Structure 1
C-alpha cells in the first residue's frame, strides 16, 4: 500500500502534466508508469503490467462501440439526413412561437440519437439552422446560443461517447447507461424549449417577430413558407428512416436482442443503406470512414491509458483513501456531491469533457457509491455536469465549433456566442437538480428494461 506522500506525488504529477499542456493520453500513461514503478520498484514488472493491460483493453469487444456508432452518425450526417430532419420539424412547428429555435432543439435531440458526439451537431446545424434564423430576423446571439446549447444533447442522449467512456472506466453496462440517458435528455429538451417559448412571448423581437426585415429577407421568408408540399413528401421518408434506425438500435439494446456493440454494428449497416438510398457516393463513404478513424483512434488510445490509470489508482490505494476521507469527513452525501459537481464545473472551463471523465471518475464513482448514490443516476448527473463545460468559457468547444462553422459571419466573437449559450448552461444545471431530487428519472427506464421477461 502506498504512503500518503507517494499518492500525492502520483496525483500531483498527473495534474501538472495535464495543465502543463501534455496530451491527456500521454499524461495518463506517464503517471501510470510512475505509479507502477513506485509500487513495484521493478522496471520489468512495470512494463509487463502495462503491456498486459493494453493487450486486454484493445482486444475487448466493447471497444468497437465507439467507431461503429460514430460511423453510423457520420453516414447520416454526410448524406443530408440532418438537413431533411430540420426541414421536416421546421414545417411541423409553423404555429409555434420561435419555431426555428424549437426546430433546432428538436432536430438536435433526434440527431443526437444517431451521432454520439456534440461537435458534429454543432457544425451541422450552424450551417443548416443559422441561415434560416438569419433570414427570419432572429437575433444573432440568440440564434447561435440556441445552436451551441442544443448541440449538448449529443453527449447526453444515447449513443453518447461520454457514456461509453464512463461505462468502460467503471465497468458498468453501457446499454444500461444508454437507456438511462433518455428521460434526462427529454427533460433537457423540455427546459430548452420552455426557455425559447418564454423568449418568444416576452421578447419577440429576438425571434424576428415585429422586426422590419429588408425586402430580400421578406421575399426569401415568404418563398420558404410557400414551398411546395412535394418537398415535405421527399424529406419525410428520410426522417422516417432515421427514426426507424433509432428504434431498431436502442430498442434492440433495451430488449436484449443484441449487445451495445452488436447494436452499433446494426446501426452502422442500416445507416449505410439509408445513406446509399439518399444518393451517397463511394467517395463520400470513404471520407466518412477516414473521418471516423481520425476521431476514434485517439479515443481508443485514451481509453487504454485510462484503464491503466484506473488500475494503478486501485492498486495504490488512492481510490480507497479518497473514499475513506469523504465517508469519515462527516460531510453529508449531498455536500460531497455538490463538491464533485463544483470540481466538474471548474474543470469544464479548463479541459475537454473526455479528459475530465478520465481524470475524475475513477476516484469519484467509488466515493459516490460509498455515500449511497445510485451508480446509474450518479453517472447521468456527472455527464450533465461535465457537459456544461462544452459551453463554459474559455474552453467551450461547442462555441468554438459554431464560430468555426461560420467563417463569413462579420464581426462574430466567441463572447457573443458564450452569452447566447448561458441560458442553456443554466438549463443543464436545472436538469442536474432534477436528477438529484428525483434519481428515478435516470433509473426508471433501465430498471424497467431489466424487469422485462427474457426472450
Structure 2
C-alpha cells in the first residue's frame, strides 16, 4: 500500500506508460491503471465492502456517466460524415477548383495544400483524414508539376493538423463532454485560431518562395476569368456543406448534434453530386465509422474511470496542492503544461492525450485563472503538435505512405510549421481575447 499521494501518482504514471509500451490497447491500459491505483491505495472501507466492490461501482458509474451524453452523439455522426466524404472525389475537385484562384500568389499551387486542408477540415473533424484525403491528390500533382517535394510535404504535414482545430472537431467534442464546456462555443472559438494558423502557413510558403524561386516551376499556369468562374462549381459543394454544418451552430439554429446529422445528409448529397453514392462506399463508410467511434468511446470510458480513481484516492488534490505550492506564475504553469503535452505527443495519439490528462490538468488551469473555453483551444493546438512529432506523429506516417519518403525527411520539412504552431499558441496565451472574440459575438 502507498499512502503518499505524490508517490502514488508517480507509480500510476509509471504503470500507465509500462502498459502502453507493452502494446496493450489504450482503453484497456486506462482501465488497468485505474484498477491498480485502487489496489495500491490504502483505502478505509467498511468491512462489508471490498475494494473490488468499490472498483466495480466506480467503473460502472464512470462508464455510464461519461458515455450517457446527448452531446457525445455528435461524435459518430461527424465521423460518419468524414468517412463518406473520404470516399468521394472531393479532394480532386478542391485541387481543380482552387488552382485558378491561387496561381497568382508567390508559391502558387503550394497554397492549395493549406486552403484545401482548411476547407476539408471544416467538414471532416479529423486530422488524419484531412492529411490523407488532400495529400493523396495534391502531393502527386505538385510533384509532377515540378514543385519542391520538401515544401509540399511540409505544408501538407502542417496544414493537415487543422483537422483538429477548424470545426467540427472530434477532439473538441470529447473535450466539451469531459470538461462540461459548450461544444458549440468550442467550435466557434476554433475558427479564428484556425484561420490564423492557416495564414501563418501560407505566409511561410510565400517567404520561402520569395527567398528561393526555384521551389516552384519556372512556367506559370495561366487562367482566364472564365476559368476561375468555372472552378467555382467544384468548390461550391464543399462551401455549401460548411455553411450547412457551421452556419446553423453560429446562428444558434442547431445544436452540434443536429448540425452533425445535417452534415451526414449533406455528405450523402455531395457523394450523389459527384456520382459516387453507391452501396460499396456506403458500407465501407458505415463500418469505418463504427470502428472509429467504438475505439474513441472505449478510450473515453477508460479515461473517465481513471479520472474517478484519481479523484477518489486523492491524487488530483495532491498534485494541485503541489503545483500551487511551487507558486508558478500563470504563464509558467502553461509553459510546463505545454512541455508535458509535447512529451506526451511523442508517445500517444491526440485523443488519448486529452482524455488522460484533462482530469488532472483542467482543475489546476482553472485554479490559475484560465478559462476552460480558452484552454480547450490551447489543448487542441498541443494535440496538433503531436501529429507532427516523432515517433507517433500520425500525419508523418500518412505522408510516408503517400510520398514514399522516410519519416526523418518529412520531420525536417514539417519543423518550420511545428514552430509556427508554437508561435500561435504563445500568441493565444498572451492574448486570450482572440479565442473569445467570436463566442462573445455569438452570445450578443
Aligned 8 A contact 2:350 2:384 in 1: yes
Query: 1-side partners of 2:198 and 2:225: how far apart?
Result: 30
The size of the alignment, in residue pairs, is: 434
CA apart distance, 1:238: 4.4
Equivalent position of 1:243 in the other structure = 239
RMSD between aligned residues:
2.2
Contact 1:63–1:300, Cα closer than 8 Å, also in 2: no
Change in 2 beyond 3 A, CA 1:447/1:322: farther
Q: Deviations over 1:353-403 (max 9, x none)?
A: 112112222111111110111221122112112211111122221011011
Q: Secondary structure at the match of 2:387?
A: helix
Please say if 1:275 is aligned against 2:271.
yes
Q: CA deviation at 1:314?
A: 2.2
Distance 2:9 2:395 in 1: 35
Matched, 1:127 2:124: no
Is the aligned partner of 1:60 residue 2:69?
yes
Match of 2:204 among 190, 195, 220: 195
2:420 aligned with 1:427? yes
1:174: which partner in 2? 183
Supply the distance in 2 between the matched residues of 1:137 and 1:278 (Cα, whole angstroms).
Answer: 29
Given the alignment of the two structures, is residue 71 of structure 1 paired with residue 73 of structure 2, yes or no? no
Question: 1:213 is matched with which residue?
Answer: none
Q: Which one of the candidate residues 248, 253, 272 is aligned to 2:249?
A: 253
Please give the alpha-carbon distance, in whole angstroms, between the structure 2 residues aligned to 1:231 and 1:276: 24
Give the aligned partner of residue 305 of structure 2.
308
Q: Partners of 2:36 and 2:358 in 1: how far apart?
A: 20
How much does 1:117 deviate?
A: 0.7
Match of 1:401 in 2: 398
Supply the distance in 2 between the matched residues of 1:293 and 1:238 (Cα, whole angstroms).
Answer: 30
| Distance in 2 of aligned mates of 1:169 and 1:201 | 45
- Asked if 1:105 corresponds to 2:114, the answer is yes
TM-score (norm 2): 0.92
Kindly indicate whether the alpha-carbon contact (under 8 Å) linking 1:76 and 1:275 is maintained by their aligned counterparts in 2. Answer: yes
SS at match of 1:391: coil
Q: Structure 2: which 5+ runs fail to align? A: none
Deviates more, 1:98-107 or 1:245-254: 245-254
**Equivalent residues in 2 for 1:374-413, closer than 5 Å:** 374-406=371-403, 409=404, 412-413=405-406
Matches within 5 A, 1:132-171: 132-171=141-180
Q: TM-score, normalised by structure 1?
A: 0.90
Determine the structure 1 residue equivalent to 2:20. Answer: 18
Query: Where in structure 1 are there 5+ consecutive unaligned residues?
Result: 210-217
Per-residue deviation, 1:92: 0.7
Task: After superposing the two structures, state which structure 1 stretch, 272-281 or 107-116, moved more.
Answer: 272-281
Structure 1 position 337, deviation (Å) = 0.8
